[in-house]
A and B are shown apart, each in its own frame.
Chain A
Amino acid sequence: KNEVEQSPQNLTAQEGEFITINCSYSVGISALHWLQQHPGGGIVSLFMLSSGKKKHGRLIATINIQEKHSSLHITASHPRDSAVYICAVRVGNQFYFGTGTSLTVIP
């Protein structure tokens, strides 16, 4: 069993839709990261969370430590948001990654 589970694996949305990507984990964590990987392979760190909620532009990330669950929301989605979104958790000095959610936003 993977320590980090993401859903959905694939997501197609129309431009403008509100998008939610979920991440559940089974271990005690120090922090949770949301990463964005573009088709060319480059990775960008979007958020690092240890509690509560963070917002950056149209992106919102929340975490519920008790439920071991995090969500990444994208408001007013745009084709340029098309990418793979990866949830990663830090446990001590180790990191565990979800398999990613492939998002395609259609104009």
Chain B
Amino acid sequence: GAGVSQSPSNKVTEKGKDVELRCDPISGHTALYWYRQRLGQGLEFLIYFQGNSAPDKSGLPSDRFSAERTGESVSTLTIQRTQQEDSAVYLCASSLSQVAYGYTFGSGTRLTVV
């Protein structure tokens, strides 16, 4: 597609359930990023993929969070045993490469944990 696509756009889940968020980057973009924005707060970096590899996972808030990317394309962010503090908009962005190009952001997944 022409832009970065994220699904679902909205997700309401019960506390303790697992959720999976999906990001389809722009075709050919090797760099992919996940961010989180809690209500009323700034952006928070979660993880970055170069190709299918994530060189640094230290931005993930806890071991309940994991992410993977396959085929240098789709990425999934999985949150296990969701907690209310996980409620946020999860944003994905992609770039031709990490070094020289700007980002294109998806429209985000609004996650609400009840």
Could you tell me which A residues sit within 8 Å of B by CB distance?
31, 33, 35, 41-48, 86, 88, 90, 92-100
Could you tell me which B residues sit within 8 Å of A by CB distance?
33, 35, 37, 42-45, 48, 55-56, 58-59, 89, 91, 93, 98-105, 107-108
Q: Shortest distance in angstroms between B24's beta carbon and chain A's nearest beta carbon?
A: 17
Q: A99–B41 Cα gap in the complex (Å)?
A: 7
Do B42 and A45 touch (CB < 8 A)? no
Q: Shortest distance in angstroms between A92's beta carbon and chain B's nearest beta carbon?
A: 7
Q: A98–B101 Cα gap in the complex (Å)?
A: 20
Do B104 and A45 touch (CB < 8 A)? yes
Q: Name the residue of chain A whose CB is nearest to the CB of B57.
A: A93
Do A42 and B107 touch (CB < 8 A)? yes
Q: Name the residue of chain B whose CB is nearest to the CB of A88.
A: B43
Q: A95–B91 Cα gap in the complex (Å)?
A: 14
- B101 surroundings in chain A (CB, below 8 A): 48
- B91 surroundings in chain A (CB, below 8 A): 43
Q: Shortest distance in angstroms between A12's beta carbon and chain B's nearest beta carbon?
A: 20
Known: A41-B89, A86-B43, A99-B42. A94 touches B103 (CB 8 A): no
Q: Name the residue of chain B whose CB is nearest to the CB of A46.
A: B102
- A86 surroundings in chain B (CB, below 8 A): 42-43
Known: A45-B93, A92-B56. A97 touches B44 (CB 8 A): yes
Do B102 and A47 touch (CB < 8 A)? yes
Do A41 and B108 touch (CB < 8 A)? yes
Given contact pairs A33-B103, A35-B43, A46-B102, enumerate 4 new A-B contacts (beta carbons under 8 Å).
Answer: A31-B99, A33-B102, A93-B48, A95-B33
Do A93 and B105 touch (CB < 8 A)? no
Q: A35–B93 Cα gap in the complex (Å)?
A: 12
- B58 surroundings in chain A (CB, below 8 A): 94
Q: A95–B43 Cα gap in the complex (Å)?
A: 10
